[in-house]
Structure 1
Amino acid sequence: MIFVMGASGRMGGSVLRHADGPKRAGTPSGRPVEGAAETVPFDLDAPGTFHAALHRCEAMFVMRPPTATKRGPFDDLMAAAKKAGVGHVVCASVYGAQDSRVLPHRHMEAAVRDSGLPHTFLRPADFMQNLADVHAEAIRDRDEIVVPAGEGRSAFLDVDDIGRACAAVLAAPGEHDGKGYDITGPEALSFEDVAATLTRVLGRPIRYHPVSPPRFVASQIRHGRPASMAFVMAALYTVQRLGRAAPAKPDFERLTGRRPGDLASWAARNRDAFEKDGHGSATS
Protein backbone atom coordinates (compact mmCIF):
# COMPACT_ATOMS: atom_id res chain seq x y z
CA MET A 1 0.00 0.00 0.00
CA ILE A 2 1.19 3.52 -0.84
CA PHE A 3 -0.02 6.45 1.26
CA VAL A 4 -0.63 9.55 -0.87
CA MET A 5 -0.70 12.90 0.90
CA GLY A 6 -2.63 15.72 -0.79
CA ALA A 7 -4.63 13.17 -2.75
CA SER A 8 -7.43 15.58 -3.63
CA GLY A 9 -4.95 18.07 -5.12
CA ARG A 10 -3.07 18.10 -8.38
CA MET A 11 0.23 16.52 -7.25
CA GLY A 12 -1.37 13.82 -5.15
CA GLY A 13 -3.90 13.17 -7.87
CA SER A 14 -1.14 12.65 -10.40
CA VAL A 15 0.46 10.05 -8.11
CA LEU A 16 -2.87 8.23 -7.81
CA ARG A 17 -3.12 8.12 -11.60
CA HIS A 18 0.39 6.86 -12.33
CA ALA A 19 1.84 4.90 -9.40
CA ASP A 20 1.38 1.14 -9.54
CA GLY A 21 -0.24 -0.85 -6.77
CA PRO A 22 -2.98 -0.03 -4.26
CA LYS A 23 -3.03 3.54 -2.93
CA ARG A 24 -4.47 4.97 0.27
CA ALA A 25 -5.49 8.59 -0.16
CA GLY A 26 -5.25 11.12 2.63
CA THR A 27 -7.63 14.09 2.45
CA PRO A 28 -9.07 16.52 5.03
CA SER A 29 -12.58 15.11 4.58
CA GLY A 30 -11.75 11.43 4.10
CA ARG A 31 -14.25 11.26 1.25
CA PRO A 32 -13.46 8.73 -1.53
CA VAL A 33 -10.97 9.85 -4.17
CA GLU A 34 -10.80 8.43 -7.68
CA GLY A 35 -7.84 6.13 -8.13
CA ALA A 36 -7.49 5.25 -4.44
CA ALA A 37 -8.26 1.83 -3.00
CA GLU A 38 -8.91 3.53 0.35
CA THR A 39 -9.37 7.09 1.56
CA VAL A 40 -8.82 8.25 5.14
CA PRO A 41 -9.05 11.62 6.90
CA PHE A 42 -5.60 13.19 7.08
CA ASP A 43 -4.37 16.52 8.41
CA LEU A 44 -0.69 17.39 8.80
CA ASP A 45 -1.57 19.47 11.85
CA ALA A 46 -3.52 16.60 13.46
CA PRO A 47 -1.09 13.81 14.44
CA GLY A 48 -4.03 11.70 15.54
CA THR A 49 -4.79 11.08 11.86
CA PHE A 50 -1.34 9.66 11.10
CA HIS A 51 -1.72 6.08 12.36
CA ALA A 52 -4.72 5.15 10.20
CA ALA A 53 -3.11 6.82 7.21
CA LEU A 54 0.21 4.98 7.46
CA HIS A 55 -0.81 1.59 8.87
CA ARG A 56 0.62 -1.22 6.70
CA CYS A 57 1.97 1.18 4.06
CA GLU A 58 5.22 0.22 2.37
CA ALA A 59 5.73 3.68 0.86
CA MET A 60 4.38 7.21 1.12
CA PHE A 61 4.18 10.35 -1.00
CA VAL A 62 4.74 13.55 0.98
CA MET A 63 4.21 17.16 -0.09
CA ARG A 64 3.99 20.56 1.59
CA PRO A 65 0.46 21.95 2.05
CA PRO A 66 0.34 25.63 1.02
CA THR A 67 -0.06 26.85 4.59
CA ALA A 68 2.70 24.69 6.13
CA THR A 69 5.69 26.88 7.03
CA LYS A 70 7.31 25.06 9.98
CA ARG A 71 9.27 21.85 10.41
CA GLY A 72 7.54 20.40 13.48
CA PRO A 73 4.54 18.77 11.78
CA PHE A 74 6.82 17.02 9.29
CA ASP A 75 9.02 15.71 12.12
CA ASP A 76 5.87 14.28 13.71
CA LEU A 77 4.79 12.71 10.43
CA MET A 78 8.19 11.12 9.81
CA ALA A 79 8.25 9.71 13.36
CA ALA A 80 4.84 8.16 12.72
CA ALA A 81 6.04 6.78 9.37
CA LYS A 82 9.05 5.20 11.02
CA LYS A 83 6.87 3.66 13.72
CA ALA A 84 4.48 2.31 11.07
CA GLY A 85 7.32 0.64 9.17
CA VAL A 86 7.11 2.73 5.99
CA GLY A 87 9.88 1.56 3.69
CA HIS A 88 10.36 4.54 1.39
CA VAL A 89 9.35 8.22 1.36
CA VAL A 90 8.95 10.12 -1.90
CA CYS A 91 9.01 13.80 -1.03
CA ALA A 92 7.77 16.34 -3.59
CA SER A 93 9.50 19.60 -2.75
CA VAL A 94 10.43 22.44 -5.12
CA TYR A 95 13.43 23.26 -7.27
CA GLY A 96 16.26 24.76 -5.22
CA ALA A 97 14.74 24.08 -1.81
CA GLN A 98 17.83 22.25 -0.58
CA ASP A 99 19.92 25.44 -0.93
CA SER A 100 17.30 27.99 0.10
CA ARG A 101 17.08 29.91 3.36
CA VAL A 102 13.66 31.30 2.42
CA LEU A 103 11.49 28.58 0.89
CA PRO A 104 9.51 26.69 3.58
CA HIS A 105 9.96 23.44 1.65
CA ARG A 106 13.44 23.24 3.19
CA HIS A 107 11.87 22.36 6.57
CA MET A 108 10.03 19.41 5.03
CA GLU A 109 13.18 18.18 3.30
CA ALA A 110 15.18 18.42 6.54
CA ALA A 111 12.58 16.41 8.45
CA VAL A 112 12.55 13.69 5.79
CA ARG A 113 16.35 13.61 5.52
CA ASP A 114 16.88 13.46 9.29
CA SER A 115 14.26 10.76 9.84
CA GLY A 116 16.62 7.99 8.78
CA LEU A 117 13.98 6.56 6.44
CA PRO A 118 14.91 5.66 2.87
CA HIS A 119 13.78 8.60 0.77
CA THR A 120 13.86 10.36 -2.58
CA PHE A 121 13.30 14.06 -3.30
CA LEU A 122 11.44 15.23 -6.37
CA ARG A 123 12.09 18.95 -6.88
CA PRO A 124 9.70 20.27 -9.53
CA ALA A 125 9.86 23.49 -11.48
CA ASP A 126 6.87 25.85 -11.60
CA PHE A 127 3.70 24.05 -12.60
CA MET A 128 1.88 24.90 -15.81
CA GLN A 129 -1.33 24.29 -13.88
CA ASN A 130 -0.67 27.42 -11.79
CA LEU A 131 -1.60 29.42 -14.87
CA ALA A 132 -5.11 27.99 -14.57
CA ASP A 133 -5.33 27.75 -10.77
CA VAL A 134 -3.84 31.14 -9.92
CA HIS A 135 -3.89 33.29 -13.04
CA ALA A 136 -6.94 32.08 -15.00
CA GLU A 137 -9.13 35.04 -14.03
CA ALA A 138 -6.54 37.61 -15.12
CA ILE A 139 -5.87 35.74 -18.37
CA ARG A 140 -9.54 35.09 -19.11
CA ASP A 141 -10.98 38.48 -18.12
CA ARG A 142 -8.08 40.90 -18.71
CA ASP A 143 -5.79 39.05 -21.13
CA GLU A 144 -2.83 39.50 -18.81
CA ILE A 145 -0.40 37.72 -16.47
CA VAL A 146 0.78 39.81 -13.52
CA VAL A 147 3.66 38.34 -11.46
CA PRO A 148 6.96 39.62 -9.97
CA ALA A 149 9.17 37.37 -12.12
CA GLY A 150 10.90 40.03 -14.21
CA GLU A 151 12.64 38.51 -17.22
CA GLY A 152 13.58 35.32 -15.37
CA ARG A 153 13.03 31.90 -16.91
CA SER A 154 11.71 28.61 -15.57
CA ALA A 155 11.24 25.21 -17.20
CA PHE A 156 7.50 25.00 -16.49
CA LEU A 157 6.31 21.48 -15.67
CA ASP A 158 3.07 19.61 -16.28
CA VAL A 159 2.08 18.36 -12.81
CA ASP A 160 1.12 15.00 -14.28
CA ASP A 161 4.82 14.37 -14.78
CA ILE A 162 5.31 14.39 -11.00
CA GLY A 163 3.07 11.32 -10.81
CA ARG A 164 5.08 9.65 -13.55
CA ALA A 165 8.37 10.43 -11.79
CA CYS A 166 7.01 9.15 -8.47
CA ALA A 167 5.88 5.94 -10.15
CA ALA A 168 9.37 5.43 -11.61
CA VAL A 169 10.98 5.90 -8.18
CA LEU A 170 8.58 3.50 -6.46
CA ALA A 171 9.12 0.87 -9.14
CA ALA A 172 12.73 0.51 -7.92
CA PRO A 173 13.03 2.48 -4.66
CA GLY A 174 16.41 1.06 -3.69
CA GLU A 175 17.99 2.61 -6.77
CA HIS A 176 16.82 6.07 -5.76
CA ASP A 177 17.43 6.10 -2.00
CA GLY A 178 18.96 9.36 -0.81
CA LYS A 179 18.78 10.96 -4.25
CA GLY A 180 17.12 14.15 -5.44
CA TYR A 181 15.79 14.80 -8.92
CA ASP A 182 14.97 18.12 -10.58
CA ILE A 183 11.72 17.53 -12.45
CA THR A 184 11.26 20.14 -15.16
CA GLY A 185 9.62 20.79 -18.48
CA PRO A 186 11.53 20.59 -21.77
CA GLU A 187 12.55 24.28 -22.01
CA ALA A 188 13.07 27.30 -19.78
CA LEU A 189 10.53 30.03 -20.52
CA SER A 190 10.08 33.60 -19.34
CA PHE A 191 6.57 34.88 -18.68
CA GLU A 192 6.92 36.82 -21.94
CA ASP A 193 7.34 33.39 -23.59
CA VAL A 194 4.37 32.04 -21.64
CA ALA A 195 2.22 34.95 -22.79
CA ALA A 196 3.34 34.43 -26.39
CA THR A 197 2.49 30.72 -26.21
CA LEU A 198 -0.97 31.45 -24.80
CA THR A 199 -1.46 34.10 -27.49
CA ARG A 200 -0.84 31.49 -30.19
CA VAL A 201 -3.01 28.82 -28.55
CA LEU A 202 -5.93 31.07 -27.60
CA GLY A 203 -5.88 33.21 -30.74
CA ARG A 204 -5.92 36.53 -28.88
CA PRO A 205 -3.15 38.73 -27.40
CA ILE A 206 -2.09 37.84 -23.84
CA ARG A 207 0.26 40.34 -22.18
CA TYR A 208 2.75 39.93 -19.36
CA HIS A 209 3.01 42.73 -16.78
CA PRO A 210 5.88 42.35 -14.28
CA VAL A 211 5.22 43.93 -10.88
CA SER A 212 7.15 44.32 -7.65
CA PRO A 213 6.86 41.60 -4.97
CA PRO A 214 5.07 43.93 -2.49
CA ARG A 215 2.47 44.90 -5.09
CA PHE A 216 1.95 41.25 -5.99
CA VAL A 217 1.51 40.20 -2.35
CA ALA A 218 -0.91 43.06 -1.68
CA SER A 219 -2.95 42.14 -4.76
CA GLN A 220 -3.11 38.46 -3.81
CA ILE A 221 -4.25 39.25 -0.27
CA ARG A 222 -6.82 41.72 -1.62
CA HIS A 223 -8.25 38.90 -3.76
CA GLY A 224 -8.57 36.56 -0.78
CA ARG A 225 -5.27 34.67 -0.85
CA PRO A 226 -3.91 33.84 2.65
CA ALA A 227 -0.94 36.08 3.45
CA SER A 228 1.39 33.15 4.12
CA MET A 229 0.61 31.67 0.70
CA ALA A 230 0.99 35.05 -1.03
CA PHE A 231 4.47 35.51 0.49
CA VAL A 232 5.57 32.00 -0.59
CA MET A 233 4.30 32.67 -4.12
CA ALA A 234 6.21 35.98 -4.20
CA ALA A 235 9.35 34.20 -3.00
CA LEU A 236 9.08 31.60 -5.77
CA TYR A 237 8.57 34.28 -8.44
CA THR A 238 11.50 36.24 -6.99
CA VAL A 239 13.69 33.15 -7.38
CA GLN A 240 12.74 33.19 -11.06
CA ARG A 241 13.34 36.95 -11.37
CA LEU A 242 16.84 36.51 -9.96
CA GLY A 243 17.63 33.82 -12.54
CA ARG A 244 17.66 30.96 -10.04
CA ALA A 245 14.55 29.08 -11.17
CA ALA A 246 14.75 25.68 -12.78
CA PRO A 247 16.49 25.37 -16.13
CA ALA A 248 15.52 22.43 -18.32
CA LYS A 249 17.03 19.32 -16.73
CA PRO A 250 17.29 15.73 -18.03
CA ASP A 251 16.24 14.03 -14.77
CA PHE A 252 12.62 13.32 -15.74
CA GLU A 253 13.52 11.72 -19.05
CA ARG A 254 16.23 9.63 -17.39
CA LEU A 255 13.78 8.44 -14.72
CA THR A 256 10.85 7.66 -17.00
CA GLY A 257 12.24 7.21 -20.50
CA ARG A 258 9.85 9.81 -21.89
CA ARG A 259 10.03 13.51 -22.76
CA PRO A 260 8.28 15.88 -20.33
CA GLY A 261 5.11 17.63 -21.44
CA ASP A 262 5.42 21.06 -23.09
CA LEU A 263 3.45 24.23 -22.39
CA ALA A 264 1.80 24.59 -25.81
CA SER A 265 0.36 21.06 -25.67
CA TRP A 266 -0.88 21.55 -22.12
CA ALA A 267 -2.47 24.92 -22.96
CA ALA A 268 -4.21 23.44 -26.01
CA ARG A 269 -5.72 20.67 -23.86
CA ASN A 270 -6.85 23.19 -21.25
CA ARG A 271 -7.83 26.21 -23.31
CA ASP A 272 -11.34 26.19 -21.81
CA ALA A 273 -9.83 27.44 -18.54
CA PHE A 274 -8.84 30.67 -20.29
CA GLU A 275 -11.77 31.23 -22.65
CA LYS A 276 -13.82 34.36 -22.04
CA ASP A 277 -17.13 32.56 -22.57
CA GLY A 278 -16.45 29.82 -20.04
CA HIS A 279 -15.18 29.28 -16.54
CA GLY A 280 -13.55 25.90 -16.94
CA SER A 281 -10.58 24.51 -15.08
CA ALA A 282 -7.44 22.71 -16.10
CA THR A 283 -7.86 18.97 -16.31
CA SER A 284 -4.24 17.84 -16.46
Structure 2
Amino acid sequence: MLFVMGATGRMGGAVLRHAAGRVRAGTRSGAPVDGAAEAVRFDLDDPDGFTAALTGCTEIFVMRPPTTTSRAPFERLMTAAREAGLRHVVCASVYGADTSRVLPHRHMEAAVRASSLPHTFLRPADFMQNLADRHGVSIRKDGEIAVPAGRGRSAFLDADDIGRACAAVLAAPGEHDGRGYDLTGPEALTFGEVAEVMTRLLGRRVCYRPTSVPGFVLREVRHGRPASLALVMAALYTVQRLGRAAPVRPDLERLTGHAPSSLADYLARERAAFAPP
Protein backbone atom coordinates (compact mmCIF):
# COMPACT_ATOMS: atom_id res chain seq x y z
CA MET A 1 0.00 0.00 0.00
CA LEU A 2 1.40 3.37 -1.07
CA PHE A 3 0.49 6.45 0.98
CA VAL A 4 0.28 9.60 -1.16
CA MET A 5 0.52 13.07 0.35
CA GLY A 6 -1.35 15.82 -1.48
CA ALA A 7 -3.39 13.29 -3.41
CA THR A 8 -5.66 15.92 -4.96
CA GLY A 9 -2.77 18.13 -6.06
CA ARG A 10 -0.70 18.10 -9.23
CA MET A 11 2.05 15.75 -8.11
CA GLY A 12 -0.08 13.55 -5.89
CA GLY A 13 -2.69 13.25 -8.61
CA ALA A 14 -0.03 12.22 -11.12
CA VAL A 15 1.24 9.54 -8.73
CA LEU A 16 -2.31 8.22 -8.35
CA ARG A 17 -2.76 8.02 -12.13
CA HIS A 18 0.37 5.93 -12.62
CA ALA A 19 0.56 3.86 -9.43
CA ALA A 20 0.57 0.13 -10.10
CA GLY A 21 -0.68 -1.06 -6.71
CA ARG A 22 -3.11 -0.04 -3.98
CA VAL A 23 -2.99 3.57 -2.88
CA ARG A 24 -4.16 5.34 0.26
CA ALA A 25 -4.79 9.01 -0.48
CA GLY A 26 -4.03 11.61 2.15
CA THR A 27 -5.98 14.87 1.93
CA ARG A 28 -7.02 17.60 4.35
CA SER A 29 -10.67 16.52 4.13
CA GLY A 30 -10.22 12.77 4.00
CA ALA A 31 -12.90 12.56 1.31
CA PRO A 32 -12.74 9.74 -1.28
CA VAL A 33 -10.34 10.33 -4.16
CA ASP A 34 -10.71 8.82 -7.62
CA GLY A 35 -8.05 6.20 -8.25
CA ALA A 36 -7.34 5.55 -4.56
CA ALA A 37 -8.40 2.38 -2.77
CA GLU A 38 -8.63 4.32 0.48
CA ALA A 39 -8.67 7.95 1.59
CA VAL A 40 -7.78 9.39 4.99
CA ARG A 41 -7.53 12.83 6.54
CA PHE A 42 -3.93 14.03 6.53
CA ASP A 43 -2.47 17.39 7.50
CA LEU A 44 1.28 17.90 7.82
CA ASP A 45 0.60 20.42 10.59
CA ASP A 46 -1.38 17.84 12.63
CA PRO A 47 1.07 15.11 13.69
CA ASP A 48 -1.53 13.45 15.91
CA GLY A 49 -3.06 11.99 12.76
CA PHE A 50 0.14 10.58 11.26
CA THR A 51 0.03 7.13 12.85
CA ALA A 52 -3.55 6.40 11.79
CA ALA A 53 -2.85 7.66 8.26
CA LEU A 54 0.28 5.56 7.76
CA THR A 55 -0.49 2.30 9.56
CA GLY A 56 -0.81 -0.51 7.05
CA CYS A 57 1.17 1.24 4.32
CA THR A 58 4.54 0.10 3.03
CA GLU A 59 5.70 3.13 0.99
CA ILE A 60 5.05 6.86 1.14
CA PHE A 61 5.12 9.63 -1.45
CA VAL A 62 6.19 12.86 0.28
CA MET A 63 6.03 16.39 -1.07
CA ARG A 64 6.33 19.89 0.38
CA PRO A 65 3.10 21.85 0.86
CA PRO A 66 3.63 25.35 -0.56
CA THR A 67 3.50 27.13 2.81
CA THR A 68 5.77 24.71 4.72
CA THR A 69 9.29 26.10 5.01
CA SER A 70 10.77 24.32 8.07
CA ARG A 71 12.23 20.89 8.79
CA ALA A 72 10.29 19.99 11.93
CA PRO A 73 7.01 18.81 10.32
CA PHE A 74 8.92 16.39 8.09
CA GLU A 75 10.97 15.10 11.01
CA ARG A 76 7.74 14.26 12.82
CA LEU A 77 6.35 12.60 9.69
CA MET A 78 9.48 10.51 9.20
CA THR A 79 9.36 9.39 12.84
CA ALA A 80 5.77 8.24 12.33
CA ALA A 81 6.71 6.53 9.05
CA ARG A 82 9.52 4.62 10.75
CA GLU A 83 7.26 3.60 13.64
CA ALA A 84 4.58 2.45 11.18
CA GLY A 85 7.10 0.16 9.49
CA LEU A 86 7.24 1.88 6.10
CA ARG A 87 9.95 0.51 3.83
CA HIS A 88 10.54 3.30 1.29
CA VAL A 89 10.13 7.07 1.02
CA VAL A 90 9.77 8.66 -2.42
CA CYS A 91 10.36 12.36 -1.85
CA ALA A 92 9.34 14.86 -4.55
CA SER A 93 11.54 17.90 -4.05
CA VAL A 94 12.78 20.41 -6.64
CA TYR A 95 15.76 20.70 -8.94
CA GLY A 96 18.74 22.12 -7.06
CA ALA A 97 17.44 21.46 -3.54
CA ASP A 98 20.46 19.30 -2.76
CA THR A 99 22.88 22.19 -3.32
CA SER A 100 20.86 25.37 -2.65
CA ARG A 101 20.74 27.18 0.67
CA VAL A 102 17.76 29.24 -0.46
CA LEU A 103 15.14 26.66 -1.42
CA PRO A 104 13.03 25.44 1.54
CA HIS A 105 12.83 21.96 0.00
CA ARG A 106 16.30 21.30 1.43
CA HIS A 107 14.75 21.03 4.91
CA MET A 108 12.40 18.30 3.72
CA GLU A 109 15.27 16.43 2.08
CA ALA A 110 17.39 16.71 5.23
CA ALA A 111 14.62 15.22 7.37
CA VAL A 112 14.09 12.34 4.94
CA ARG A 113 17.83 11.69 4.70
CA ALA A 114 18.22 11.66 8.49
CA SER A 115 15.31 9.24 9.00
CA SER A 116 17.39 6.14 8.16
CA LEU A 117 14.52 4.94 5.97
CA PRO A 118 15.33 3.83 2.42
CA HIS A 119 14.52 6.82 0.23
CA THR A 120 14.64 8.24 -3.27
CA PHE A 121 14.58 11.92 -4.23
CA LEU A 122 12.77 13.13 -7.34
CA ARG A 123 13.88 16.68 -8.16
CA PRO A 124 11.68 18.16 -10.90
CA ALA A 125 12.24 21.32 -12.86
CA ASP A 126 9.59 24.07 -12.96
CA PHE A 127 6.22 22.57 -13.87
CA MET A 128 4.48 23.45 -17.11
CA GLN A 129 1.27 23.40 -15.07
CA ASN A 130 2.43 26.56 -13.27
CA LEU A 131 1.64 28.45 -16.46
CA ALA A 132 -2.04 27.74 -15.89
CA ASP A 133 -2.14 27.56 -12.09
CA ARG A 134 0.04 30.53 -11.17
CA HIS A 135 -0.02 32.65 -14.31
CA GLY A 136 -3.28 31.61 -15.92
CA VAL A 137 -5.23 34.71 -14.91
CA SER A 138 -2.68 37.14 -16.37
CA ILE A 139 -2.23 35.00 -19.49
CA ARG A 140 -5.97 34.77 -20.10
CA LYS A 141 -6.73 38.39 -19.22
CA ASP A 142 -3.63 40.30 -20.35
CA GLY A 143 -1.69 37.84 -22.49
CA GLU A 144 1.26 38.26 -20.14
CA ILE A 145 3.70 36.26 -17.99
CA ALA A 146 5.38 38.52 -15.39
CA VAL A 147 8.10 36.86 -13.27
CA PRO A 148 11.62 37.78 -12.04
CA ALA A 149 13.40 35.08 -14.08
CA GLY A 150 15.32 37.37 -16.44
CA ARG A 151 16.72 35.42 -19.39
CA GLY A 152 17.42 32.30 -17.37
CA ARG A 153 16.49 28.93 -18.82
CA SER A 154 14.70 25.94 -17.34
CA ALA A 155 13.76 22.60 -18.86
CA PHE A 156 10.09 22.84 -17.85
CA LEU A 157 8.51 19.51 -16.85
CA ASP A 158 5.00 18.16 -17.30
CA ALA A 159 3.89 17.25 -13.75
CA ASP A 160 2.33 14.05 -15.07
CA ASP A 161 5.87 12.76 -15.61
CA ILE A 162 6.36 12.82 -11.83
CA GLY A 163 3.79 10.03 -11.60
CA ARG A 164 5.65 7.98 -14.19
CA ALA A 165 8.93 8.47 -12.35
CA CYS A 166 7.45 7.50 -8.99
CA ALA A 167 5.90 4.36 -10.47
CA ALA A 168 9.24 3.38 -11.99
CA VAL A 169 11.04 3.81 -8.66
CA LEU A 170 8.49 1.72 -6.76
CA ALA A 171 8.55 -0.99 -9.42
CA ALA A 172 12.21 -1.73 -8.64
CA PRO A 173 12.54 -2.14 -4.84
CA GLY A 174 16.03 -1.42 -3.58
CA GLU A 175 17.41 -0.30 -6.92
CA HIS A 176 16.91 3.41 -6.28
CA ASP A 177 17.60 3.60 -2.54
CA GLY A 178 19.62 6.65 -1.55
CA ARG A 179 19.57 8.10 -5.04
CA GLY A 180 18.30 11.39 -6.43
CA TYR A 181 17.01 12.08 -9.93
CA ASP A 182 16.80 15.41 -11.72
CA LEU A 183 13.59 15.37 -13.74
CA THR A 184 13.29 17.77 -16.66
CA GLY A 185 11.46 18.30 -19.90
CA PRO A 186 13.13 17.85 -23.30
CA GLU A 187 14.30 21.46 -23.84
CA ALA A 188 15.56 24.35 -21.69
CA LEU A 189 13.57 27.51 -22.40
CA THR A 190 13.53 31.10 -21.22
CA PHE A 191 10.16 32.54 -20.29
CA GLY A 192 10.44 34.64 -23.44
CA GLU A 193 10.66 31.45 -25.48
CA VAL A 194 7.80 29.93 -23.50
CA ALA A 195 5.69 32.95 -24.45
CA GLU A 196 6.67 32.51 -28.12
CA VAL A 197 5.60 28.84 -28.08
CA MET A 198 2.32 29.76 -26.41
CA THR A 199 1.69 32.50 -28.96
CA ARG A 200 2.25 30.09 -31.82
CA LEU A 201 0.22 27.18 -30.47
CA LEU A 202 -2.62 29.03 -28.76
CA GLY A 203 -3.25 31.40 -31.67
CA ARG A 204 -3.11 34.52 -29.49
CA ARG A 205 -0.27 36.78 -28.40
CA VAL A 206 1.43 35.99 -25.09
CA CYS A 207 4.30 38.22 -23.88
CA TYR A 208 6.91 37.83 -21.19
CA ARG A 209 7.58 40.79 -18.91
CA PRO A 210 10.60 40.42 -16.58
CA THR A 211 9.94 41.94 -13.15
CA SER A 212 11.94 42.69 -10.01
CA VAL A 213 11.73 40.34 -7.02
CA PRO A 214 10.09 42.96 -4.72
CA GLY A 215 7.63 43.90 -7.45
CA PHE A 216 6.74 40.28 -8.06
CA VAL A 217 6.22 39.48 -4.37
CA LEU A 218 4.11 42.61 -3.84
CA ARG A 219 1.94 41.80 -6.86
CA GLU A 220 1.40 38.22 -5.72
CA VAL A 221 0.44 39.27 -2.20
CA ARG A 222 -1.98 41.88 -3.57
CA HIS A 223 -3.63 39.11 -5.58
CA GLY A 224 -4.18 37.02 -2.47
CA ARG A 225 -1.08 34.80 -2.53
CA PRO A 226 0.34 34.06 0.96
CA ALA A 227 3.57 36.01 1.48
CA SER A 228 5.50 32.84 2.34
CA LEU A 229 4.47 31.23 -0.94
CA ALA A 230 5.23 34.38 -2.93
CA LEU A 231 8.74 34.44 -1.44
CA VAL A 232 9.35 30.77 -2.32
CA MET A 233 8.17 31.44 -5.87
CA ALA A 234 10.49 34.45 -6.09
CA ALA A 235 13.39 32.27 -4.88
CA LEU A 236 12.70 29.69 -7.58
CA TYR A 237 12.57 32.33 -10.30
CA THR A 238 15.74 33.92 -8.96
CA VAL A 239 17.52 30.57 -9.28
CA GLN A 240 16.44 30.54 -12.92
CA ARG A 241 17.49 34.17 -13.47
CA LEU A 242 20.96 33.36 -12.13
CA GLY A 243 21.33 30.52 -14.61
CA ARG A 244 21.07 27.77 -12.02
CA ALA A 245 17.71 26.31 -12.99
CA ALA A 246 17.37 22.92 -14.57
CA PRO A 247 19.20 22.17 -17.81
CA VAL A 248 18.00 19.15 -19.79
CA ARG A 249 18.77 15.93 -17.91
CA PRO A 250 18.40 12.30 -19.05
CA ASP A 251 17.18 10.90 -15.71
CA LEU A 252 13.46 10.79 -16.52
CA GLU A 253 13.87 8.83 -19.74
CA ARG A 254 16.33 6.47 -18.10
CA LEU A 255 13.89 5.85 -15.23
CA THR A 256 10.73 5.40 -17.24
CA GLY A 257 11.89 4.34 -20.70
CA HIS A 258 9.86 7.19 -22.22
CA ALA A 259 10.85 10.64 -23.41
CA PRO A 260 9.48 13.53 -21.30
CA SER A 261 6.48 15.47 -22.56
CA SER A 262 7.22 18.71 -24.40
CA LEU A 263 5.65 22.11 -23.82
CA ALA A 264 3.80 21.64 -27.11
CA ASP A 265 2.38 18.33 -25.83
CA TYR A 266 1.18 20.02 -22.66
CA LEU A 267 -0.38 23.00 -24.44
CA ALA A 268 -2.20 20.74 -26.89
CA ARG A 269 -3.73 18.83 -23.97
CA GLU A 270 -4.53 21.87 -21.80
CA ARG A 271 -5.37 24.47 -24.43
CA ALA A 272 -8.72 25.28 -22.82
CA ALA A 273 -6.99 26.40 -19.60
CA PHE A 274 -5.62 29.45 -21.44
CA ALA A 275 -8.77 30.53 -23.28
CA PRO A 276 -9.59 34.25 -22.80
CA PRO A 277 -12.44 34.99 -20.37
Q: In which range does the TM-score fall when normalised by the shorter chain?
A: over 0.9
**Alignment of structure 1 residues 39-78 onto 2, 5 Å:** 39-78=39-78
Q: Residues 189-214 of structure 1, C-alpha deviation per residue, up to 9 Å, x if partnerless?
A: 00011000100111111110000011
Q: Residues 165-221 of structure 1, C-alpha deviation per residue, up to 9 Å, x if partnerless?
A: 000000013000000000110010000110001001111111100000110000000
Output the amino acid matched with 1:105. H
Which region of structure 1 is more displaced relative to structure 2, 228-237 or 260-269? Answer: 260-269
Output the amino acid matched with 1:185. G
Unaligned runs of 5+ in 2: none
Q: Residues 20-76 of structure 1, C-alpha deviation per residue, up to 9 Å, x if partnerless?
A: 100000000000111100000000010111112111111000000001011001000
**Alignment of structure 1 residues 1-284 onto 2, 5 Å:** 1-277=1-277
Instruction: State the 1:122 CA deviation.
Output: 0.1
- Determine the C-alpha separation between the residues in 1 that align with 2:74 and 2:8: 19
- Determine the C-alpha separation between the residues in 2 that align with 1:265 and 1:71: 36
What SS does structure 1 have at the residue aligned with 2:4?
strand
Unaligned runs of 5+ in 1: 278-284
- Determine the C-alpha separation between the residues in 1 that align with 2:196 and 2:52: 48
- Determine the C-alpha separation between the residues in 2 that align with 1:272 and 1:24: 31
What SS does structure 2 have at the residue aligned with 1:96?
coil
Q: Percentage identity across aligned positions?
A: 71
Tell me the TM-score normalized by structure 1.
Answer: 0.97
What SS does structure 1 have at the residue aligned with 2:175?
helix
Output the amino acid matched with 1:237. Y
Equivalent residue pairs, number = 277
Tell me the TM-score normalized by structure 2.
Answer: 0.99
Output the amino acid matched with 2:276. K
Partner of 1:281: none
Q: Residues 132-182 of structure 1, C-alpha deviation per residue, up to 9 Å, x if partnerless?
A: 000011111101100000000000000000000000000013000000000
What SS does structure 1 have at the residue aligned with 2:208?
strand
Which region of structure 1 is more displaced relative to structure 2, 198-207 or 148-157? Answer: 198-207
Partner of 1:282: none
- Determine the C-alpha separation between the residues in 2 that align with 1:204 and 1:82: 52
Q: CA RMSD in A?
A: 0.6
What SS does structure 2 have at the residue aligned with 1:196?
helix
- Determine the C-alpha separation between the residues in 1 that align with 2:136 and 2:73: 32
Which region of structure 1 is more displaced relative to structure 2, 114-123 or 261-270? Answer: 261-270
Output the amino acid matched with 2:241. R
- Determine the C-alpha separation between the residues in 1 that align with 2:82 and 2:128: 34
- Determine the C-alpha separation between the residues in 2 that align with 1:94 and 1:118: 19
Output the amino acid matched with 2:24. R
Output the amino acid matched with 2:48. G
Which region of structure 1 is more displaced relative to structure 2, 153-162 or 199-208? Answer: 199-208
Q: Which runs of 4+ in 1 moved over 2 A?
A: none
Q: Residues 65-100 of structure 1, C-alpha deviation per residue, up to 9 Å, x if partnerless?
A: 001011001000000000000000000000000111
- Determine the C-alpha separation between the residues in 1 that align with 2:69 and 2:276: 36
Output the amino acid matched with 2:51. H
What SS does structure 1 have at the residue aligned with 2:90?
strand
Output the amino acid matched with 1:52. A
Partner of 1:280: none
